Structure 1
Amino acid sequence: MMRSIAAWALILACGLGVAGGAGAAEGLVNAKDFQADARTAAKRRVPILVLFSSPDCPYCDRVKREYLVPMHKDPAYRDRVVIREVTVDAGTPLKGFKGGATTQGEFSADHKVFMVPTVKVFDTQGDPAGDAIVGLLSADYYFGYLENAIDEGVRKVRGK
């Protein structure tokens, strides 16, 4: 446990140093094709974490900058999760988990996301792997909430 906390502190410090003056979204992949993402996740035997965000949301920027961008850039997370971002009100084309054409906004509505930031973890079939993390909640515990959601997704995908 202490090793995990120390590793996260180092990752966070490096991530903040790298992303300090940069836009918060740098380093996150905007969702375009969940069917392809699901194939990648299935090969790695990992879940897909989706951040539902909005461009004018300071809490979304904070979640990206302090948590998800450092995770996305950390090679250790490659074996634990695929991370994507969806803009809740965007008309940006998106291929859903079943291959159907939709938009990021429609995908958000279909998954009942009406508040940002919202983080949902999906299995490789596109089914939710646990409860959503809605809002920033307590910043002191947010990393733990993300870790628990990822762990739950990994258990579901790997059948453990």
Structure 2
Amino acid sequence: MMRMIAIWTLILAWGLALTGPARAMDSLVQAKNFHADARTAAQRQVPILVLFTSPTCPYCERAKREYLVPMHMDPGYHSRVIIREVNINSTASLTGFDGKPTTEGAFARANKVSIVPTVMVFDPRGTATSEAIVGLLIADYYFGYLEAAIDEGMRMVRGKKISLKTGP
């Protein structure tokens, strides 16, 4: 009996070990430091796509599951965009593009985001590069809207060849 319990314990532990990384892979990176993300974006010459969400929003979960997480997981997008998530109701600390401390909710309010899901694409200076995509819109065209916003962001960033000063 003890041997059977030990075997089941090992199987359960092994299963839990496998689901941890899988869960991390099926979500977006929560925004923590846009100033650091902006330095990376400037080096790579890519825009930063921000998905504004709320934990109770089923459309947000659908946008993540069907569109943004697959983009985030696709190595082809790593050379085109940095993707982050911001919870519009959160008081979690966040460093803004300007390097100043703020919160996720304050960042959303500063960008006039009150409806979720909303997608905005920014250049490394924190300037929006296209119109916000508000709501899930027509699901059949949503991927196209995201692609167009990323392409516009890339044109803006690569056209300006943005570099951020790291010192005086």
Instruction: Using structure 2 for the length normalisation, give the TM-score.
Output: 0.80
3-state DSSP class of the match of 2:85? strand
Runs of 4+ with deviation above 6 angstroms: 22-25
Quote the residue 1:153 is aligned against. 153
Higher CA-based Rg: 2
Once residues 23 and 107 of structure 2 are traced to their aligned partners in structure 1, the CA distance between those partners, rounded to angstroms, is 25
Once residues 61 and 25 of structure 1 are traced to their aligned partners in structure 2, the CA distance between those partners, rounded to angstroms, is 15
Once residues 48 and 25 of structure 1 are traced to their aligned partners in structure 2, the CA distance between those partners, rounded to angstroms, is 19
Q: How many pairs align?
A: 139
Once residues 26 and 104 of structure 1 are traced to their aligned partners in structure 2, the CA distance between those partners, rounded to angstroms, is 21
Quote the residue 1:46 is aligned against. 46
Sequence identity percentage: 65
Letter in structure 2 aligned against 1:119: V
Once residues 103 and 27 of structure 1 are traced to their aligned partners in structure 2, the CA distance between those partners, rounded to angstroms, is 20
Quote the residue 2:30 is aligned against. 30
* Alpha-carbon shift at residue 25 of structure 1 (Å): 8.7
Quote the residue 2:137 is aligned against. 137
> What does residue range 3-152 of structure 1 map to in structure 2 within 5 Å?
26-152=26-152
Once residues 120 and 24 of structure 1 are traced to their aligned partners in structure 2, the CA distance between those partners, rounded to angstroms, is 23
Residue 115 of structure 2 contacts residue 134 of structure 2 at CA under 8 Å; is this kept in 1? Answer: yes
RMSD: 1.6
Letter in structure 1 aligned against 2:114: F
Residues 13-41 of structure 1: CA deviation (Å, up to 9, x unaligned):
xxxxxxxxx87993310000000000111
3-state DSSP class of the match of 1:159? helix
Point out where structure 2 has 5 or more consecutive residues left out of the alignment. 1-21, 161-168
3-state DSSP class of the match of 2:154? helix
3-state DSSP class of the match of 1:120? strand
Once residues 145 and 103 of structure 1 are traced to their aligned partners in structure 2, the CA distance between those partners, rounded to angstroms, is 28
Point out where structure 1 has 5 or more consecutive residues left out of the alignment. 1-21
Once residues 27 and 72 of structure 2 are traced to their aligned partners in structure 1, the CA distance between those partners, rounded to angstroms, is 7
Once residues 33 and 95 of structure 2 are traced to their aligned partners in structure 1, the CA distance between those partners, rounded to angstroms, is 5
Once residues 25 and 34 of structure 1 are traced to their aligned partners in structure 2, the CA distance between those partners, rounded to angstroms, is 21
Once residues 134 and 144 of structure 1 are traced to their aligned partners in structure 2, the CA distance between those partners, rounded to angstroms, is 14
